[in-house]
Structure 1
Amino acid sequence: MREALDLLRDRPLVVLTGAGLSTDSGIPDYRGPGSPARMPMTYQEFVSGPDARQRYWARSHLGWGRMRRADPNAGHHALVRVHPDLLITQNVDGLHERAGSPRLVALHGRIADVICLGCRATSPRQALQQRLTELNPGFAERHAAVEVRPDGDVELDETAGFVVPDCRECGGILKPDVVFFGENVPAPRVERCYAAVDALAERGGALLVAGSSLTVMSGFRFVRRAAKAGTPVVIVNRGATRGDELATYTVDAGCSEFLGLLADQQTAPMPSR
């Protein structure tokens, strides 16, 4: 761990975070040690018909009701102090925003936002949550014991009869404003991230990955791009990742612990010579 921290000291940084960063906030990980196998709903399934959307929104109604009460943890707050050139997060929980990270790209969007697939109007998730509660009285109370999964999902099969409202503006289909499997990350987000990663090579910077297995290409591509340019890559994660062979250092440790040490050394005065 010390070698990785020394490499990152006083360098320009781009940080890429994944679900492992939010586990200390009580949000389950996707692929960390002990994580159950899961098949998240794809975009194609979501738009396939009302039954799929009923299943999605019933589960999400319960899961987001809990996720929204999660608070940023020590790792989120440490990254505010690290103050990277750009923070790229694959998480949709909004905890980096709540912690106060200023230079941020939410690669996959935010679960707290809702978009209409018809008129493209966006609205706060809280407003939809209230409508779902009113249309489905007692639903949350009847399923209070269900197990929470990542991204505001839960383990629940009994979704028949759950009422899903349409867009108030046009009657269109409402979807969380996040990138589902089967969708592409909007090009402007990707280009902003590429530009920040490319700049590291010119400035002697490094790419730090925290809490991601890099299984999904949307995050892994930035590691490949940095490594190809000769930029050092440090990966901090519980367990192996897809990018380990490209990394300068891999650290099997908790994100909060490592990021706290990094923040401390970034803000500590340099020793006198």
Structure 2
Amino acid sequence: MSLHMTRPQTTAEHEILETFVHEHRRLLVLTGAGCSTESGIQDYRDVNGDWKRARPITWQAFMGDGADRQRYWARSLIGWRHLEQARPNDAHRALARLEARGTVELVLTQNVDGLHQAAGSTRVIDLHGRIDQVRCMRCARQTARLDLQSRLTALNPAWAQRDAAAAPDGDADLDGEAFSTFRVPDCRHCGGILKPDVVFFGEDVPAARKALALDHLAAADAVLVVGSSLMVPSGYRFVQRAAEAGKPIGAVTLGRTRADSLFAFKVARPCAKALAFLL
């Protein structure tokens, strides 16, 4: 029977989570936006799993429309400043400590912020890529997002002086603006379109990355979901596979998830507070 915990964490609830962590010596930890909200990074969904704001840009729109790219990079020029300041919180540090104890098979993160690695985790697959890298869609060269930030600022000095509320993944809320004057740089090497090295909605996770993550799932003896509603199929599929294989699945996350019926237990607490016992 699933035990869904929505009250403040009690001693019994703490013990259930602690027992789960210590009984399973090869944990695959699947993390989502809720793992990074306490680092000041906004999440996409509310407690019901519904969008808090407009759906993010799709791969098709970004690649097919220059105006959409102008809008994306104008917002990113401002939003990147907020994201760059984010630092790991106790949830990231707790999972890094768990890895150091030798009980983490893999941290499979849906986040693109790199905070698991910043906290010291090394067994990490960034399922959706990394926002601190930029890729040319023609020649496939990778460059640092910081380099592109300098180029964006030089081309758009007036925009660079603006500020706006932070949105998820280095975005900023700039609704109702005209972006036609915003200048977007091309690849220095071939003139191709530059895109954050992340998986956009409508884009597939690279097959090799998915296959490697499934190999780690096969080697794991249990799955712990941390801070994810699992509404995105690319993350949910791993919980489905674990359930089909009969692997125990626990969760530390707020609100409704797509996999509530598959959990052995669910602790509905902020991730950093729930995992503090690992520090």
The alignment's TM-score, normalised by the length of structure 2, stands at 0.89
Write out aligned runs for 1:182-261 (5 A): 182-200=202-220, 205-261=221-277
Q: Which runs of 4+ in 1 moved over 4 A?
A: none
Specify the code of the residue in structure 2 equivalent to 1:225.
R
Question: Contact between 1:58 and 1:162, CA under 8 Å: does it hold in 2?
Answer: yes
**Quick one: higher RCO (CA 8 Å, sep 6+), 1 or 2?**
2
Aligned counterpart in structure 2 of residue 112 of structure 1, from 123, 132, 157 = 132
Residue 31 in structure 1 maps to residue 45 in structure 2: yes
Once residues 219 and 210 of structure 1 are traced to their aligned partners in structure 2, the CA distance between those partners, rounded to angstroms, is 12
Once residues 131 and 68 of structure 1 are traced to their aligned partners in structure 2, the CA distance between those partners, rounded to angstroms, is 16
Moved more, 24-33 or 114-123: 24-33
Aligned to 1:270: none
Taking only aligned residues, the RMSD between alpha carbons, in angstroms, comes to: 1.3
Aligned to 1:4: 17
Once residues 242 and 234 of structure 1 are traced to their aligned partners in structure 2, the CA distance between those partners, rounded to angstroms, is 13
Once residues 173 and 73 of structure 1 are traced to their aligned partners in structure 2, the CA distance between those partners, rounded to angstroms, is 34
CA displacement at 1:5 relative to structure 2: 2.5
Once residues 259 and 64 of structure 1 are traced to their aligned partners in structure 2, the CA distance between those partners, rounded to angstroms, is 28
SS across alignment from 1:36: coil
Aligned counterpart in structure 1 of residue 199 of structure 2, from 167, 172, 179 = 179
Specify the code of the residue in structure 2 equivalent to 1:28.
Q
SS across alignment from 2:135: strand
Write out aligned runs for 1:91-110 (5 A): 91-110=111-130
Point out where structure 2 has 5 or more consecutive residues left out of the alignment: 1-12
Q: 1:216-256: per-residue Cα shift (whole Å, max 9, x none)? A: 01100110111111110001111010011011111111111
Q: 1:110-129: per-residue Cα shift (whole Å, max 9, x none)? A: 00000001111110001000
CA displacement at 1:160 relative to structure 2: 2.7
Once residues 227 and 46 of structure 2 are traced to their aligned partners in structure 1, the CA distance between those partners, rounded to angstroms, is 9
Question: Contact between 2:47 and 2:256, CA under 8 Å: does it hold in 1?
Answer: no
Question: Contact between 1:90 and 1:107, CA under 8 Å: does it hold in 2?
Answer: yes
Aligned to 1:267: none
Point out where structure 1 has 5 or more consecutive residues left out of the alignment: 265-273
Specify the code of the residue in structure 2 equivalent to 1:4.
L
Question: Contact between 2:105 and 2:219, CA under 8 Å: does it hold in 1?
Answer: no
Residue 64 in structure 1 maps to residue 80 in structure 2: yes
Q: 1:144-179: per-residue Cα shift (whole Å, max 9, x none)? A: 1x1111111111132231110100000010000000
Question: Contact between 2:79 and 2:172, CA under 8 Å: does it hold in 1?
Answer: yes
Residue 50 in structure 1 maps to residue 66 in structure 2: yes
Moved more, 108-117 or 131-140: 131-140
Moved more, 13-22 or 91-100: 91-100
- Count of aligned pairs: 257
The alignment's TM-score, normalised by the length of structure 1, stands at 0.91
Once residues 191 and 53 of structure 2 are traced to their aligned partners in structure 1, the CA distance between those partners, rounded to angstroms, is 35
Aligned to 1:20: 34
Once residues 96 and 23 of structure 2 are traced to their aligned partners in structure 1, the CA distance between those partners, rounded to angstroms, is 15
CA displacement at 1:33 relative to structure 2: 3.4
Once residues 71 and 20 of structure 1 are traced to their aligned partners in structure 2, the CA distance between those partners, rounded to angstroms, is 14
CA displacement at 1:61 relative to structure 2: 1.1
Q: 1:171-205: per-residue Cα shift (whole Å, max 9, x none)? A: 010000000001100111111111111122xxxx2
Moved more, 59-68 or 170-179: 59-68
Residue 77 in structure 1 maps to residue 93 in structure 2: yes
